[in-house]
Amino acid sequence: MTLLGLEWYWWLVIVVVLVIAIPFKIKFMKWWSRREQEKRKGQHGKWGDEE
**pLDDT given at position 48:** 52
Tell me, what's the pLDDT at 24? 94
Q: What angle do CA 1, 11, 3 make, to 5 degrees?
A: 40
Cα(first)–Cα(last) distance of the chain, in Å? 71
Query: Has this prediction a pTM greater than 0.85?
Result: no
Give pLDDT tens digits for 10-43. 889 999 999 999 999 999 999 999 999 988 887 7
pLDDT at 28: 95
What DSSP designation does 1 have? -
